[in-house]
Structure 1
Amino acid sequence: MDAQHVMLLRELLASTPWVERSEDFARALRRTRSPGGLMLLGTPDDEPWHLAAHLDDEARYSGLPVLSPTLVRWQPPPDAPAHLRVGLDRLAEARRGETLFVVNAAEEAPVPLLERVDDARRTGATILSLDQGDPELTSLAHDSISLRPQAAPLTFEGLQHLVSTAAGQADPDRKPGFRERLSRFLDVVSGPRIAD
């Protein structure tokens, strides 16, 4: 789904709570403190490749490197490139300030997934979930966005696009950081530059 289709989807859903809810959820994604701290995990049978690619694109387009996810895989092949070789041991290293974003397209998360999520939560990671109404996974998450399968006209894939696009958008409520304030100050102090 390209940017134009996502904009059409947003227009179609403007009178529903989905656009605002996806924007709220995206704010939680942007709270990850450092690049590499956003871990993306699916089920053993369904890895969220598509969402990982879109978040990586949004990280580049928006200049927010914290949105570039680390795709955590259940059984990464040992000969895969380094960024595709991150296994479940990464979750054991999860700490406060990092985010575990769990994507479960099934109605219920498998027990091994729930156990890994619970472990990451205990070590201090923020847990976010995008699912299809899974009460067990939702209970472990600090924030979740659930789409029941019958919630037409939105599909699970469409919801992933709403969330990833919203993550890359400027947050009007975000206060500028020290470097941004310093840069603006220096621009004001130095005044306009006059060409010779």
Structure 2
Amino acid sequence: MDAVRVAHLREALAGTEWVRSARRFAGSLRTSVAPNRGGLLLVGTESYEPWHLAAHLDDEAAWSGQPELSPTLVRHRVPPAAPAHLSAGLGRIEAAGRKETVLVVTPEDPDPELLERVHDARRAGATVLALDEAGGSLRPSELHGIAHDALSADSAEVDLETVQHLVSAAAGETFPGRSGPSGAPGLPAAERSRRPALRDRLSRIVDQLSAPPPTRW
């Protein structure tokens, strides 16, 4: 990520909808994977596997003391020599049921097979969440029509990778009730006082964006 985008994430986003929207979506994620519920299944498309989000959620799970945020990465193709924690295929979504959460992350139009499996998981009682990109060939009504909650990146402002960083950072926040961007008009002083800490954490995550995923991933 170039310096202009880093500066945008550190400074400009605090005055836009993105921090608030990411916190709202992260709240849905935290609620759906609460300790008394099931696991988190993270899946992309055949050409896009959300490795970085998996790694960052794993980090946030450890950092925040919320192990339930650590996802299972579901893959369209599992190599024969893949380690156990990277061996979950699409059948894992098909088997998802009540109390489990399926988070679909895609910059493109999900294929019919994936949509069908995710839809089956919802009918079986799983919570479905979606992170995608608006515009292009994506038809949000298909995926969003299945999802209980969804957040779309707007490439004209922030891309999908940036939104994933905002969501993963917000998911690891240990103080609930934050419903708006830091420093926004009308927020109490206590809320505004958290602004530097959030920016520091976002800066840390963005600085790691181009680094290779941890060994686990």
TM-score of the aligned structures, taking structure 2 as reference length:
0.72
Mapped to 1, the partners of 2:128 and 2:174 lie a distance apart of 22
Residues 141-156 of structure 1 mapped to structure 2, 5 A cutoff: 141-150=147-156, 152=157, 154-156=158-160
From the CA coordinates, give the structure whose radius of gyration is larger: 1
Task: Answer whether contact 2:104 2:131 (CA < 8 A) is retained.
Answer: yes
Query: RMSD in angstroms over aligned alpha carbons?
Result: 2.1
Q: Which has the higher contact order (CA 8 A, sep 6+)?
A: 2
Mapped to 1, the partners of 2:98 and 2:175 lie a distance apart of 22
Task: Answer whether contact 1:22 1:163 (CA < 8 A) is retained.
Answer: yes
Distance 1:122 1:41, change over 3 A: same
**Percent identity of paired positions between Structure 1 and Structure 2:** 54
How far residue 36 of structure 1 moved from its aligned partner, in angstroms, is 6.5
Q: Give the length in aligned residue pairs.
A: 168
Letter in 1 for 2:176: P
Residues 6-85 of structure 1 mapped to structure 2, 5 A cutoff: 9-31=9-31, 32-34=33-35, 37-85=39-87
Mapped to 1, the partners of 2:68 and 2:46 lie a distance apart of 25
SS across alignment from 1:127: strand
Mapped to 1, the partners of 2:23 and 2:10 lie a distance apart of 11
Letter in 2 for 1:156: L
Q: Which residue of 2 aligns with 1:170?
A: 174
How far residue 146 of structure 1 moved from its aligned partner, in angstroms, is 0.6
Mapped to 1, the partners of 2:72 and 2:111 lie a distance apart of 21
Task: Answer whether contact 2:94 2:118 (CA < 8 A) is retained.
Answer: no
Distance 1:9 1:148, change over 3 A: closer
1:135 to 116, 133, 141: 141
Structure 2: where are the runs of 5+ without partners?
Answer: 135-139, 179-217
Segment of structure 1 superposing worse, 120-129 or 36-45: 36-45
